[in-house]
Amino acid sequence: MEQSRRDFLKGAGLMAVGAGALAGAGALAGCSTAEQKPAGAFEVKHTCDVVVAGGGIGGLAAAVSAAEAGANVILVEASNKVGGTSRFAAGAFGPRFGTDWPEVLQKAPMSDPTLGQLVVDNWPGYLEWIDGLGLTTEELAPGSPYVWMGGKRDAEQGSKSFTDEYLQQFGQVFADKGGTTLTATRAVKVLTDETGKAVGLRAEDAEGVFDIEAKSVILATGGWQCDKEMCTKYLGRHADLSQAQCVPYLDGSGIKMGVEVGAQLSRSFGSFYGHPQPWPMTYLNGVDTPEGYEAVENVDDVHILYYGTTEHSIQGMGVYVNVQGERFVNEGLGSSLVNQEVMQQYMARAYLILDEGVRDIIRQTPFCNAAVIGGDRIDHMIEKGMTVVQADSLEELGAKIVAETADGVSFNANNMVATVNAYNEAAAAGTADKLDVPHLGVVPATPLVTPPFYAIPVVGGIMATFGGLKINTEAQVIGTDDRPIAGLFAVPGCAGGIMNGDYWCVMSGYSVIGRIAGAQAAATKGE
């Protein structure tokens, strides 16, 4: 979806300029008061060549790249440690469809052709670069385009990679190259001079608001899944009820800061990536909001939350029904695309129906056992107190869904039973592809006939949004006059348009373009 700057401002609730406008759209409380001070009233605490807002995997790549090029770099990170939401990633990253651009474009035809090719062409060089930095990766499997961050862990250790450790090491590489990291500090405004050139950031920490003077600014603050107004406007009428699968700072602040200084917006505001999220999720530090993620130390807990339903969805097994008890999606699409359809249902809700037979298949399937979460994790979900309805018949399952998930949502148990029975008949006859909602996928439809039966309530989940600031191949932010804004760069997440509909290069795209942004910002720091 192409998005105009005017519509974005209206949709994000930006009725004024500065940090006060950001506060109205989900930014730091208290900034609106600070912004009432006259220009130049904030203390300049730091001066540098390049300042990077956001210390996720893309921001880290940008910061290290700029420092390596000889720039004096400051990295501003809202969380208490670097890594951001990237800390909770499964740990396998790379261009999912490989590095043959014509083939990638065929599989992801709605991708930006210029930025997409930029990622795949530069991915091998990026891997060589991080290897030279001493950052360990390990091939996921022979011939796979994915690598494990930090190498592969033993299966019994839960998560299959060392994602958080890898990101903290990345932060240490930055420090070793002379960089300065300000954690628990949030960027609230891009500073510009009389010509419109970006010349620094206004930031806020526990002590108050201050300025950082810089010759170039890189925005790497991530997406906008924590801004409920934006989610509803762009992703679906019930998307405000979805679960943001991230730390609480991904509220589009970097995008809003860019728009405030004249940036143009990309396409793809109607597109996102995530997995169906088990609901309710209050086991995570007792909080079912992104604030819960901020305090997580054991990322394996988050992977149970993320991927409790994912292995079944990846294989296209089980049946998804909405609150009317009706199938609404081809389960064979895979977890991320099923999630897009869940988001369009009433209250962004659905139920994944399984049986013990499907669970056995998931446990035994080599693909699942090689995947991030180690196959079936329903027992772990139950141990964590998550809602998993169990019954010895479909009729009993329907009654228990009504009794155990009563939250003001009326569930049609009779329709669910009829829907699953019709699915079972078609699956047994090999005609599931002829259903009104056909089942098509690599794995044939599997009848759900072996008790116990299970129902997992889910809600749409958002890990990454795809719309953001428009950039060119040098990661420069493009203004409304179709010219680069001097001194201003952005990394995907905050930048947008590279993907649309599919997540084929989330962290690899952030990483590659982050490296480019850092090098370009360092090269143009005096201009």
CA 78 – CA 187 distance, rounded (Å): 8
From 59-73, 107-121, 282-296, 333-347, the region with the lowest mean pLDDT = 282-296
At residue 448, φ and ψ (nearest 5 deg) are -100, 90
Q: What is the predicted pLDDT for the residue at 525?
A: 60
Residue 161 DSSP symbol: B
443, 459, 475 - which closes a domain: 459
Read off the tokens for 493.
Answer: 């997440």
Query: Does residue 448 sit in the same domain as residue 507?
Result: no
Secondary structure letter of residue 60 according to DSSP? H
Res. 481: pLDDT tops 90: yes
The answer to whether residues 158 and 27 belong to one domain is yes
Cα(118)–Cα(498) distance, rounded to whole angstroms? 10
Q: Does residue 229 share a domain with residue 130?
A: yes
| Type and span of the H or E element at 374 | none
Asked if pLDDT for residue 155 goes beyond 60, the answer is no
Please give the DSSP secondary-structure letter assigned to residue 315: T
Claim to verify: residue 45 and residue 181 sit in the same structural domain:
yes
Q: Kindly state whether residues 99 and 210 are assigned to the same domain.
A: yes
pLDDT-derived band at 128, boundaries 50, 70, 90: very high
Backbone angles phi, psi at 492, to 5 degrees: -50, 150
Residue 204's H or E segment, with its range, is: strand 198-205
**CA–CA dist 419, 369 (Å, integer):** 30
CA distance 227 to 525: 32
- What local confidence, expressed as pLDDT, does residue 29 receive? 30
Residue 265 backbone dihedrals phi, psi, to 5 degrees:
-100, 150
Q: How far is C-alpha 313 from the geometric centre of its chain's CA atoms? A: 18
Provide, rounded to the nearest whole percent, the portion of the chain with pLDDT above 90: 61
d(CA 518, CA 220): 11
Secondary-structure percent of the chain, ordered helix, strand, coil, rounded to 5: 40, 20, 45
Give 481-497 as a DSSP string: TSSEEEEEEE-BTTB--
- How much is the average pLDDT of 403-419? 88
User: Please, which pLDDT band fits residue 313 given cuts at 50, 70 and 90?
Assistant: low
Mean pLDDT to the nearest integer, 28-54: 70
At 375, the amino acid letter reads: G
Question: Residues 300, 135, 120, CA angle at the centre, nearest 5°?
Answer: 90
**Are 443 and 479 within one domain?**
no
Distance CA 398, CA 400 (A): 5
Task: Classify 335 as helix, strand or coil.
Answer: helix
CATH number at residue 84: 3.50.50.60
Note down the domain range covering 334: 275-459
Highest mean pLDDT: which range of 59-63, 155-159, 374-378, 408-412: 59-63
> What is the C-alpha to C-alpha distance for residues 370 and 362, in angstroms, rounded to an integer?
11
The region of weakest confidence among 85-94, 108-117, 371-380, 409-418 is 371-380
Closest CA to 84 of 69, 62, 112: 62
Q: What is the pLDDT of residue 34?
A: 45
Q: Contact, 384 vs 292, CB < 8 A?
A: no
Strand, coil or helix: 469: strand
Please tell me whether residues 452 and 475 are part of one structural domain: no
The Cα 253–Cα 54 span in angstroms is 11
| Highest-scoring range by mean pLDDT, 21-30, 176-185, 327-336, 453-462 | 176-185
CA distance 415 to 395: 10
DSSP characters for 389-407? EEESSHHHHHHHHHHHS-S
| pLDDT at residue 434 is higher than 60 | yes
Which of these three, 459, 487, 506, is where a domain ends? 459
Residues 48 and 189 in one domain: yes
Same domain, 326 and 390: yes
Whole-angstrom distance, CA of residue 120 vs CA of residue 96: 10
Q: At what angle do helices 413-429 and 394-404 cross, to 10 degrees?
A: 140
Angle at the Cα of 351 from the Cα atoms of 346 and 356, rounded to 5 degrees: 170
State the Cα–Cα distance between residues 187 and 209, nearest whole angstrom: 9
> What pLDDT, in 10s, does the model give residues 258-304?
999 999 999 999 999 988 888 876 555 555 567 777 777 777 667 66
The reply to whether 351 and 472 lie within a common domain is no
Average pLDDT, the chain: 85
Q: Cis check for the bond before 452: say yes or no (omega within 30 of 0).
A: yes
- CB neighbours of residue 67 within 10 Å: 25
Query: What pLDDT, on a 0 to 100 scale, did the predictor assign at position 503?
Result: 86
Q: What CATH number corresponds to the domain at position 454? A: 3.90.700.10
Q: What is the pLDDT of residue 275?
A: 85
Give me the number of domains the chain comprises: 2
The answer to whether residues 436 and 319 belong to one domain is: yes
Examine the domain organization and report whether 290 and 150 are in the same domain.
no
Interval 346-361 mean pLDDT: 91
Cα 76 off chain centre by: 20
Q: Using CA atoms, how far apart are residues 306 and 524, in angstroms rounded to an integer?
A: 40
Cβ atoms of 515 and 507 closer than 8 Å: no
- The C-alpha atoms of residue 505 and residue 365 are separated, in whole angstroms, by 26
Q: pLDDT tier at 368 (50, 70, 90 boundaries)?
A: very low
pLDDT in tens, 2-29: 555 555 555 444 323 333 333 333 333 3
Burial class (CB in 10 A: 0-12, 13-18, 19+), 421: middle
Most confident of 7-16, 168-177, 309-318: 168-177
Write down which residue in 406, 427, 459 finishes a domain. 459
The tens digit of pLDDT for each residue in 92-101 reads 899 999 999 9
Structure tokens of 45? 């605490």
Listed in order, strand segments (DSSP E) in 126-185 are 137-139, 147-149, 180-182
